[in-house]
Amino acid sequence: MIKKELPEIFEEFSEARRNGFITAKKFKEQDRPMIGTFCTFMPQEIPLAIGAATVSLCATSDETVEEAEKELPRNLCPLIKSSYGFGKTDKCPYFYFSDLVVGETTCDGKRKMFEMMGEFKPVHVMQLPHNPVQKYSRDMWKDEIILLKETLEKQFDKIITDDQVKEAIVLKNRERQALKDFYSLGKLNPPAISGLDLLKVLYGTTFKFEKEDTIKELTELTAKVKSEYEAGGKLEAKPRILITGCPIGGVTEKIVKAIEDNGATVVFYENCMGAKAVEDLVDENNEDIYDALAEKYLKIGCSCMSPNTKRFELLDRAINEYQVDGVVEVILQACHTYAIEAKNVKDFVKDDKNKAYISVETDYSTSDVGQLNTRMAAFIEML
């Protein structure tokens, strides 16, 4: 058996999205359901209980934005326009092969976009409560999860049992733990891997359909990185950066590249593609499985939540545990909740944690790459 080098392994995870058409086609040839998702609030354990794959739909490129703007406002969040454009043009293999798209009401723009998307694709929208601490919120979200179960049962003519959901909870928790073990490599100082390679793996796993294979690959990769680190395979010590804010991936990798090309290393991703939805596991000891699922998913510290204390709890821990020198906040244009919450994040990072902070507003074009490099160079030089 040929042992692969780390760069080759990282690139395989990066290729997972680009090779999606073939992977999705083979999966569908097994007559297995595929559920398209846009957000980490979607409880993956429910489709997983019937052997369905959940896949993140294409939404991190400006390739279809122009087409989307024929029907959507130009001053809308690029993530929403990209999501709709890929669906409308059928340029996303995952969207094409998805039997059902599940959305959540994380913002008003998505809510209305899902209505339009429902005209050409089966869409189920989960009504997300925006106060995560009240009992009525958990009760509502629990009902929404049960409604999702009933929708899948009807759509695929299957019965989802409690035992199947329990097994799915255990499996998904194992995957979360494998992901946590991997991104916890960022705690090593000096670093073991670059932030770009870290992102390749985190982003790539969202386009892999077989959980057991993903867990095995992540576990082996984590062990390999640790082994090479202990043998002296360490990167140069540089200022350590935490990225927070809107989802990262696809074109927005330009921000990670700007940071690392100008003398720093990204050691932690707090946003959706990183730790935000992974840190907390589902309580496997809770006899009420739907209550356990509701509790876990309402802990996701998204800016659509108010109060959003979970985000700041995670930032607090991560800044300490990952020995962070500076925080870069990524805000997609017209994403109002993250844009407004940025002030609180800035105050927390600078005043409470005494760390450097910078916010970056961007979209899915590459027109601001030069400006990003200039700003990151100045920020990192200050560190």
Residue 47 and residue 178 in one domain: no
* Mean pLDDT (the chain, rounded): 95
Residue 192 and residue 296 in one domain: yes
Q: Is the pLDDT of residue 2 over 80?
A: no
Write the CB contacts of 351 (distance below 8 Å, at least 6 apart in sequence).
none
Of the residues 128, 160, 192, which one is the last residue of a structural domain?
160
pLDDT digits (tens, 9 = 90+) for 288-305: 999 999 999 999 999 999
| Token reading at 87 | 């669906």
pLDDT of residue 59: 81
| Cα separation of the two ends of the chain | 45
pLDDT digits (tens, 9 = 90+) for 371-381: 999 999 999 99
What predicted TM-score, i.e. pTM, was given to this entire model? 0.96
The candidate with the shortest Cα–Cα distance to 56, out of 255, 199, 203, is 203
d(CA 191, CA 330): 22
Chain-centroid distance of CA 356 in Å reads 24
d(CA 315, CA 341): 13
pLDDT digits (tens, 9 = 90+) for 180-226: 999 999 999 999 999 999 999 999 898 888 999 999 999 999 999 99
The candidate with the shortest Cα–Cα distance to 192, out of 225, 221, 166, 215, is 225
Residue 103 and residue 248 in one domain: no
Residue 149 and residue 11 in one domain: yes
Q: What is the CATH number of the domain that holds 236?
A: 3.40.50.11900
Q: How many CB atoms lie within 10 A of CB 348?
A: 18
Of the residues 160, 182, 208, which one is the last residue of a structural domain?
160
Residue 336 and residue 197 in one domain: yes
Question: What does DSSP say about strands 34-37 and 100-104: parallel, antiparallel, or unpaired?
Answer: parallel
What CA dihedral angle connects 190, 273, 63 and 94, to 10 degrees? 130
Please, what's the b/e burial string for 202-227 (b: 16 or more CB within 10 A of its CB; e: otherwise)? bbbbbbbbebeebbebbeebbebbee
Of the residues 118, 134, 160, which one is the last residue of a structural domain?
160
Residue 77 and residue 126 in one domain: yes
Q: What is the CATH number of the domain that holds 113?
A: 3.40.50.11890
| Token reading at 121 | 């694709």
The continuous run of DSSP H or E covering 83 comes out as helix 78-89
pLDDT of residue 3: 61
Residues 152, 160: contact at Cβ < 8 Å? yes
Residue 252 and residue 293 in one domain: yes
| Token reading at 16 | 């997972």
Residue 285 and residue 368 in one domain: yes
Q: Is the pLDDT of residue 4 over 80?
A: no
Residue the block writes with tokens 């356990």: 292
Residue 118 and residue 263 in one domain: no
Residue 262 and residue 292 in one domain: yes
The candidate with the shortest Cα–Cα distance to 240, out of 184, 314, 324, is 324
pLDDT of residue 293: 98
Crossing angle (nearest 10°) for helices 6-18 and 195-205: 40
| Token reading at 373 | 């490099």
Task: Please check whether residue 105 lies inside any domain of the structure.
Answer: yes
Confidence of residue 92 (pLDDT cuts 50, 70, 90): confident
pLDDT of residue 307: 96
d(CA 132, CA 138): 7
| Token reading at 245 | 């804010």
Confidence of residue 1 (pLDDT cuts 50, 70, 90): very low
Tell me the residue range of the domain where 214 lies.
164-382
What domain count does the chain have?
Answer: 2
Using CA atoms, how far residue 158 sits from 125, 210, 289, in Å, is 20, 20, 19
Task: Please check whether residue 232 lies inside any domain of the structure.
Answer: yes
Residue 79 and residue 178 in one domain: no
The candidate with the shortest Cα–Cα distance to 257, out of 325, 330, 331, is 330
Residue 220 and residue 338 in one domain: yes
Catalogue the E-assigned strands of 66-131. Answer: 100-104, 123-126
Q: Is the pLDDT of residue 274 over 80?
A: yes
Percent of the chain topping pLDDT 90: 86
d(CA 42, CA 64): 24
Amino acid at 30: Q
pLDDT digits (tens, 9 = 90+) for 60-77: 889 999 999 999 999 999
Task: Please check whether residue 1 lies inside any domain of the structure.
Answer: no
Using CA atoms, how far residue 303 sits from 71, 295, 376, in Å, is 27, 17, 24
